[in-house]
Structure 1
Amino acid sequence: MAFSVVGMMKPALDWATVALNAPLARAVVFGVPIGGHYVVEALLLVVIVFLLLQKSYKPPKRPLTEKEIDELCEDWVPESLIPPTTEEVKFESSVLESAAGPHTVVNGRDVVNFASANYLGLVGHEKLMESCTAALEKYGVGSCGPRGFYGTIDVHLDCEARVAKFLGTPDSILYSYGISTMFSAIPAFCKKGDVIVADAGVHWAIQNGLHLSRSTIVYFKHNDMESLECTLEKITRENKRASKVRRYIVVEAVYQNSGQIAPLDVIIRLKEKFRFRVMLDESNSFGVLGNSGRGLTEHYGVPVEKIDIITASMGHALATDGGFCTGSVRVVDHQRLSSSGYVFSASLPPYLASAAITAIDVLEENPHLITTLRKNIALLCKGLSTIPCLSVVSNPLSPLVYVKLSRSTGSFQGDSRLVETIADHMLKEDCVLVTTSRRSKLDKCTLPAGIKLYVSAAHTESDILRASESLKRVSELVVAE
């Protein structure tokens, strides 16, 4: 076989040798001798140019008949506009049929509500309802326009001044949607090339703001100050441009994904040591922490001016909607022209701004609400501490009590299915409504799955005992299965 192949190749090689040694192959053009390989290369170049100039698709010389068109349409299978729905993403939420107070109606049944962040129990409060009614009669439902165009109403300015006065800051700015506050404020100050050091456990709204800023994002271990210090030191030491760019530390006061409280005193010390700015989200601490509910700064006795930017949602303790960002006058004024959530969104409905003002007034007039809330938190944590298959990981002062499995199944998906089963059984069998740490695929948080119980000052002792007993009975039953 090998001899036959060699015998076939020999005539071809002889022909190529003759062609390259031909007189034409050794032509002289303008005094330059042209070898045979130049002729071959020129031919190849002509072929390549010819192929590049050809159309990738030649229409048929004759139009398609109706029969051919019908056949092509029958064979064509359009691609789905959305990805296929898997079992993991299928979820039927409960239907809420009344106000989200300490007791609410879900699917036609009266249940104890531990799934709403109504920390001070102000949902349905008489003074808030009167304030909303008066604002509706005076202003209507709103201008439906952005603040910078024709959406600013005097009650917006009053609310901004009231928040700033309550927190002791020079000025504040209102946002129409609580979750947009953080992911609009971060890109307003952080740009491409800046450095942001963020906690690995921040919630999705902050993650979205970090992504939109296009800054260099570095995460440190959740609520681990040693990890934060090492990260700041490494950035300062290794990045030669670190001293010339804007640098931020982004944390939550009470973390949405764990219920833990950030050690602000240590963060401030590290901020001053490495010369960073601090962005603090107080959504779950505003109106809760501190003797008068002024948040994490009051809780640690840190002057509020040491925090560069403070944001918070008003949909938790204040029982209204929207959010605010507070700080220096320069910080606030910069957002009025540079924050997308403020510039391009319709302004907050005036009755919600009026309700926020009234809620702060009620908090200042009734400091016992914070005392009652802390008693309820302590009572619930005590009841949950005796459950062997679950462990409380949240801070004892956090109104968001976070419970995780003592023994993980080995994957976040497995833990999520297990805690969701527990939550479903609690609702169906004991009429106790709780929520779980359900996350999308875009959420980068790696903290373990768990059950969230939002404690309210309006919960009674029987509500607390009912929730703890239900969680204990159901969890032991589900985990045993």
Structure 2
Amino acid sequence: MQPAPLFCYFPAVLGTKREEGGIQIEVPRRRVLVPCQELAAAAALSSNCFRRYCLSESGRAELGKRDTYTNRKLGKGFSTMASYGLNMLNSTVNWVTQALDAPSARAVVFGVHIGGHYFVEGLLLVVILFLLSQKSYKPPKRPLSKKEIDELCDDWVPEPLIPSITKEMQYQPPVLESAAGPHVVINGKEVVNFATADYLGLVGHEKVQESCTAALEKYGVGSCGPRGFYGTIDLLPLDVHLDCESRISKFLGTPDSILYSYGLSTMFSAIPCFAKKGDVIVVDEGVHWGIQNGLHLSRSTIVYFKHNDMKSLHDTLENITADNKRAKKLRRYIVVESVYQNSGQIAPLDEIIKLKEKYRFRVFLDESNSFGVLGQSGRGLTEYCGVPVEKIDIITAAMGHALATEGGFCTGSTRVVDHQRLSSSGYVFSASLPPYLATAAITAIDMIEENPDLIKKLKRNISLLLKGLSNVEGLTLTSSPESPIVFLKLEQSTGSTKGDMEVLEEIAERALKEDSVFMVTSKRSILDKCRLPVGIRLFVSAGHTEADLTKASECLKRVSALVLKHRD
């Protein structure tokens, strides 16, 4: 049997066997006989000598080649360290092999010689099988004594099946018994309605109702599917959905538009359609819940800036783009409302556009509360601020406010609209807008263009109400002068949102009960992450009379003074 270099076999030793004249080492695919005296000498050598020691000339030559290569490529210091580690490993394997194959480490079972490691492994296997066969300890079962049962019964305290009834649970919301126009019937009594965003007073208008009736007789109620699956009404000479989209685009001066069947679903769907995980969205902290939900569904990186604060927006954009090479490759958006539903303030669109162009962001604008309201002809915030509509990348709006119908739309470039027809969940998977509602939207837009006095009257009513509410005790106006949403918050907060809500709701309840003025507070749900203070929100309509506005302002002055005085 040909001797071989000792260092070549120690790391791969499979077994050893004592033979005459030495020890037979078994490695993969071969067996090597190592003389005992050479093995002892190898174990006794120092690390520097053992590195070059081998049992044959070929081994020494091979080792010499390895040393030369190591010294040349890795350096002398690393070669010495690697050699020392190899020596330690070889010595350890040699010692363990000799120990297990020594006669004292062997056992004879039924005349068969078993190596030391086989014996140890077999013993461990027996122990494992023994442990697996054992059953877990279970204490003996015995019935409880009468004394123990009595003690448990004495300690038991029953809990109520339902929680205690609170004041909030006892609240009975008002029941609406008529169409939600400027005047409504609640609990059998006619009241002035400031709780509905019927800005132009078109709810229940005769022309709108006639158009809806004609559409119902021709098309029926439902559209029988999503827009891509038989949900687009196409009956000549009028294509209801396509005509409504075309009418909106023509009114706003945009290339194309897309209809959604529900106002909130417009925001739910449009934002996730364009923003994905990893993208950056900079958003005002006062946006309404519909936008918040769309942001959540997009899974993008959301960064909030202070409400309607352009310095905060500037600093936020600067921090995102400064020294951030990766940010240039991401899709980046600024999301704002034209008129904020949670504060009544109007966004300074001209300043936002300047920042957008400076830092190369896209603007996502929700015009739900400005469409048909702001601007000389009701074309929204772009007309109000004198900003070309082409500078806004994506515009959305709900049609349940100024147009007195239901649904929503998104308008912009043809590329923006076409992308939504295949990628927007609210458009692809939801049944399309009922034809009669699309017809109502077309009729309302026609009325806005034909009757510009509607917008003038709305602005006059806003001015009258603000004048009457300028000195309400305990309440402060926070809305913009031309906003159709008049927002009042407490001058001195109670210290908590819940406490503020209790005070404001008491004012609203007493106004309805004592003066027949219906108004609402800006409620906050668990899911609503708006960081603005709560307040009383009044929606002004062109359908309100001067007497209605005077009644509302006088009512708020009287009721708020009584409620706050009682609280003090």
Corresponding residue for residue 447 of structure 1 = 532
1:84-113 Cα offsets, whole Å, 9 max, x none, are 997657753211100011100011110000
SS state at 2:322 partner:
helix
Pairing 1:9-88 to 2, within 5 Å after superposition: 28-30=99-101
The superposition leaves residues 9-54 of structure 1 with CA deviations (integer Å, 9 ceiling, x where unpaired) of xxxxxxxxxxxxxxxxxx942469999xxx89x9699669967x99
Equivalent residue number for residue 93 of structure 1 = 173
What is the match of residue 415 of structure 2?
330
Structure 1 CA distance, aligned partners of 2:256 and 2:536? 37
Q: 1:84 to 1:191 in 2, by over 3 A?
A: farther
Residue by residue over 1:302-340, the C-alpha shift from the partner in whole angstroms, topping out at 9 and shown as x without a partner, is 000100000000000000000000000010010011111
Give TM-score scaled by structure 1 length: 0.84
**Range with bigger deviation, 243-252 or 230-239:** 230-239
Question: Is residue 311 of structure 1 aligned with residue 396 of structure 2?
Answer: yes
The code of the aligned residue for 1:352 comes to L
How far apart are the structure 1 equivalents of 2:104 and 2:318? 68
For residue 119 of structure 1, the aligned residue among 199, 210, 215 is 199
Say yes or no: does 1:138 pair with 2:218: yes
In structure 1, distance between residues paired with 2:287 and 2:521: 16
Following the alignment from structure 1 to structure 2, what is the Cα–Cα distance between the partners of residues 49 and 143? 72
Amino acid at match of 1:201: G
Answer yes or no: is 1:420 the counterpart of 2:505: yes
Find the partner of 2:355 among 248, 270, 273: 270
Q: Distance in 2 between matches of 1:84 and 1:191?
A: 45
User: Which runs of at least 4 in structure 1 moved beyond 3 Å after TM superposition?
Assistant: 30-35, 42-51, 53-56, 82-92
1:381 partnered with 2:444: no
Residues 465 and 49 (structure 1), Cα distance of their counterparts in 2 relative to 1, 3 Å cut:
farther
Measure how far apart 1:218 and its partner are.
0.3
The separation in 1 between residues aligned to 2:173 and 2:540, in whole angstroms, is: 21
Are 1:129 and 2:214 matched, yes or no? Answer: no
Length-normalised TM-score, structure 2: 0.72
Q: CA deviation at 1:144?
A: 2.8
Distance (Å, rounded) in 2 between the aligned partners of 1:456 and 1:426: 19
**Shift in CA distance, 33/268, structure 1 to aligned 2, threshold 3 Å:** farther
Aligned to 2:257: 172
Inter-partner Cα distance in structure 1 for 2:134 and 2:411: 63
SS at match of 1:29: helix
Structure with the larger RCO, 1 or 2 (CA within 8 Å, 6+ apart): 1
Deviation readout 1:351-388 (Å, 9 max, x if unpaired): 00000000000000110111110111011011111112
Q: State the alpha-carbon separation in 2 of the partners of residues 83 and 213 from structure 1.
A: 37
For residues 334 and 276 of structure 1, what CA distance do their matches in structure 2 show? Answer: 19
Q: Percent identical across equivalent pairs?
A: 72
Q: Distance in 2 between matches of 1:468 and 1:262?
A: 26
Change (3 A) 1:308 1:476: same
1:408 maps to amino acid: S
- 1:413: Cα distance to partner? 0.7
- Structure 2 counterparts to residues 77-476 of structure 1, below 5 A: 91-153=171-233, 154-476=239-561
C-alpha RMSD of the superposition: 3.0
1:388-432 deviation digits (Å, cap 9, x = unpaired): 211110001000100111111111110011101100000111110
Find the aligned partners of 1:185 and 1:345 in 2 and give their Cα distance: 14
State which structure, 1 or 2, has the greater radius of gyration over its C-alpha atoms: 2
Asked if structure 1 preserves the Cα contact closer than 8 Å seen for 2:473 and 2:560, the reply is no
